[in-house]
Amino acid sequence: MLDNIKKYQVRLGSKSPRRRELMKELRIPFGIVSLGGVDEKYPDDIDPMKAAEYVAKIKADAYLPHLDEDDLLITADTMVILGDRIMGKPHNAEEAMEMLRSLSGCTHYVTTGVTITTKGRQVAFTSVTEVDFAEISDEEARYYIDNYSPFDKAGAYGIQEWIGCVAVAGIRGSYYNVMGLPVHRLYQELKKF
């Protein structure tokens, strides 16, 4: 499978355990690389639907000087968008609660921007999933915050966790995109690379 990329050492530039888990499911041998201190800021006036891809490119560009000729680097960034508001990772329990209250009873979008980068080429794309959130009580939100780890997740929730079972009423698009890596689209892009 994917004979076209066998000449490369595939690297995942991510600290996310979910992205690692999803990459393993593709059965592509890969290693993990991690740079600290990458500035993931995006312009204030950016189209919210393009922000995740913008940040994925920033991450890729930070790694570029460290890549060998046979390295193929995959970077990604996931964001939750409600209206025109971009929700990143909450910094504390209060911010997580505010995010979950905002999402309660609403439909939002989850975007994941992905880059595939070598020394000589870069391909970038964005995957979008529409997520319907049921209304949740403060008690349910607090239970989730106290018993799970919303602080490393855009929008303060993980669809694969308890909150996904009780609050996600429906999705249109990739479930795995909401987890943090649109593996179907990534596989298709790697086939063409």
Please state the separation of Cα 79 from the chain's center in Å.
7
Which of 98, 112, 107, 95 lies closest to 178 in space, CA to CA? Answer: 112
Local confidence band at 21 (pLDDT 50, 70, 90 cut-offs): very high
| In contact, 8 and 30? CB cutoff 8 Å | no
Whole-model pTM: value is: 0.93
SS3 168: strand
Average pLDDT for 174-181: 97
Local confidence band at 36 (pLDDT 50, 70, 90 cut-offs): confident
Rounded CA separation 29/167 (Å): 35
Q: Is the predicted pLDDT of residue 1 greater than 90, yes or no? A: no
pLDDT of amino acid 39: 83
Average pLDDT for 79-93: 95
Lowest mean pLDDT among 12-16, 39-43, 84-88, 150-154: 39-43
22-35 pLDDT tens trace = 999 999 999 999 87
Structure tokens at 158: 């993980």
108-163 pLDDT tens trace = 999 999 999 999 999 999 999 999 999 999 999 999 999 998 999 999 999 999 99
120 DSSP 8-state letter: S
SS3 154: helix
Looking at the annotation, which residues are catalytic? Answer: 77
Structure tokens at 57: 């490119």
User: Residue ranges of the alpha helices (H) in the chain?
Assistant: 17-25, 48-63, 93-103, 138-147, 162-167, 175-179, 183-192
